[in-house]
Structure 1
């Protein structure tokens, strides 16, 4: 892994990470204040600077412990070098945040170090799902355990409705989906384009009609599986996605799944959709359930996309089990219909930790009842490009398929 740790960082990414580290975290479900180790820098967060969060030393100690127990799939020499660079970047990056250093003055190593702190200190963890729920004692769960435990019963129901779309070619799965009605699951159109082909008349044909399934377990370490056969396409957004991001295009599809193809297991219950078109609102808490996949190594000419190196390093260190079910809590960064260049007013932005396989994940509320799905995730990598279609603004697209969507 060749990384120029000393080149200039992406200022926007650094600004997002620094803002997150300064922002209040919850204490008993209520907002606390700025981290005591960080000085207010003229942001809106300054008004909340009354309660202390983890100290800089505590953050570095937690990161050091996480690095000591991680086992990246690279050589021992490369492991040690990467860990040293990440810890050094975190140390100097936190110091710069504390001193109010402008984002443009950070290095890539410091950018990656801050991202590592955020992931391992509980600000934005990516938690394994095992036996239908997350480990509330996980060292990186941070303060999220309070809300997750409070809504555990209903969150379990949401988790059980989320499946992995398996295919017979590497990397053996295409994305995430979740149940909207008996025999129907929703995913992204760009996921559909990986498993099926559309002819000139608009008819879709599965590329592997006898070997495309949905597994609603897919947990790390689990030998169990509840696979149901995908039989066709019930709906697809009208515009091709072609592995690009266009806010004017609906990146959504609904697949038909045969409940009778697995007679030993009941088909999971559908999720309940949010119907309020102003939801989700900025700063509201949420969680994403899906199957993060291994990021692609950049092997093309030209400049890699923003955030590529950060994602590559972080996933190498901490996310070296891919394609298994995870829950990632986070916050709504930009509310429903308020994202720039979203002329359809059907997108929101969030900062939960995600990777490519999260395409098609459900985004559920964690501020209210923990049960309602507020959005369909379609693009993201950590805090670089986390976007989702707002569920309540897709009523005309979903109401024909999901009785739970209509109040």
Structure 2
């Protein structure tokens, strides 16, 4: 996990200098509808958002939650300005920051069988409406090629769960993060093979890719994970794995193209994933992400590290939560995947491995080439 000790670019973009109470000057993101510290307009937007969640709340309760989130966000900014390390902020303070980031135009939209959720349900996201309308089909097509990594324990009667996201990168081959298969401190789903850069799936788990795990779906589009022809070394900063999959049900999935672009910057972008369930779903968590029910979402945002075409890592500010790991990051100006999402934080921003870093690994390239003869490194 990256060290976010001094990395607060995401909130500085939206709120300005830490602890400031004045409006931002030139040079900050001009598309945001509101700039500066958390305030009453943020509270009103959060109240409006709460009206469209599954929570049964009266006006007084909604106002109370909204004011509490705004207060927590202000406290977080003051503590950061006073030198508190970001990782030491309280959970409520982080939620307050995330709630305001969402209402200032970082929506996480549900994916439906016939498109994506109406942006009008997300106050503050109006700046994305024209972009979403123009690229709606491309966004939906990318969503169709992204799946939930669905795990079932074959030895015990636990309920199945979603352990991240994956997307089809070539016929019969999907891409995800290494840590989706080998979660730090958790139960691995595979065992590395000594003679190769791959791994074998453990028979104690049944792992499928569900490409229709979205809101109120009536569809069935699944692939079974057969083995892992490539997984990066445990100490490799490029956190990636390739999964060999076989078709189970529904129409076959069209692969997404991994970008080879090495020049030019990324503008507005989106990331697709499956927000994981949380142990305690508080009103504040519900306000920010609704019910993180593992169903497919698409989140809009922008890069935070400038000309990322020359970087090995893309830092972006699209809203994510656990379960987006392994999801594709695309920009609105092209249909190719520009990065592989692997980690997120409301302060530091969200991090993804740039395509150029993936292409530099010879074994990764060879595995893709075997799956698609048209590919060459």
Change (3 A) 1:72 1:274: same
- Report the counterpart of residue 249 of structure 1 in structure 2: 237
Q: Residue 261 of structure 2: SS of its match in structure 1?
A: coil
Deviation at residue 125 of structure 1 after TM alignment: 1.1
RMSD: 4.0
The alignment covers a number of residue pairs equal to 343
Equivalence for 1:359: 325
RCO higher in structure (CA 8 A, sep ≥6): 2
Give yes or no for the alignment of 1:174 onto 2:163.
yes
Equivalent residue of 1:274, what SS? Answer: coil
Offset at residue 379 of structure 1 (A) = 1.2
1:265-307 deviation per Cα after TM superposition (whole angstroms, max 9, x unaligned): 22111112221124554xx21100111112467xxxxxxxxxx
Distance 1:72 1:378 in 2: 30
Structure 1: 5+ residue stretches without partners: 1-9, 24-36, 241-245, 298-310, 340-344
Partner of 1:53: 33
Aligned match for 2:274, one of 291, 314, 318 = 291
SS at match of 1:167: strand
TM-score between the two structures when normalised by the length of structure 2: 0.76
3-state secondary structure, aligned to 2:323: helix
Quick one: structure 1 residues 92 and 271, their matched pair in 2 at CA, closer, same or farther if it must change by over 3 Å? closer
How far residue 65 of structure 1 moved from its aligned partner, in angstroms, is: 1.9
Name structure 2 gaps, 5 residues minimum: 154-158, 183-187
Shift of 1:88: 3.5
Instruction: Indicate yes or no: 2:340 matched with 1:376.
Output: yes
Shift of 1:338: 9.1
Mapped to 1, the partners of 2:52 and 2:277 lie a distance apart of: 20
Q: Secondary structure at the match of 1:375?
A: strand
Give the distance between the partners of 2:167 and 2:296, measured in 1 at CA: 12
Alignment of 1:267-282 (within 5 A): 267-278=252-263, 280-281=265-266
TM-score w.r.t. length of structure 1: 0.71
For the pair 1:393 / 2:357, whether they are aligned, the reply is yes
**Deviations 1:168-224 (CA, angstroms, capped at 9, x unpaired):** 145512211101111110111111223212244456221247732111110111132
In the alignment, is the contact (CA less than 8 A) between 2:270 and 2:300 conserved in 1?
A: yes
Change (3 A) 1:85 1:278: same
Q: Is the 8 A contact 2:75 2:93 kept in 1?
A: no
Question: C-alpha distance in 1, partners of 2:76/2:201?
Answer: 52
Given candidates 181, 192, 205, the residue that maps to 1:198 is 192
Q: Pick the aligned partner of 1:215 from 203, 210, 216.
A: 210
Q: In the alignment, is residue 129 of structure 1 matched against residue 107 of structure 2?
A: no
Q: CA deviation at 1:63?
A: 0.9
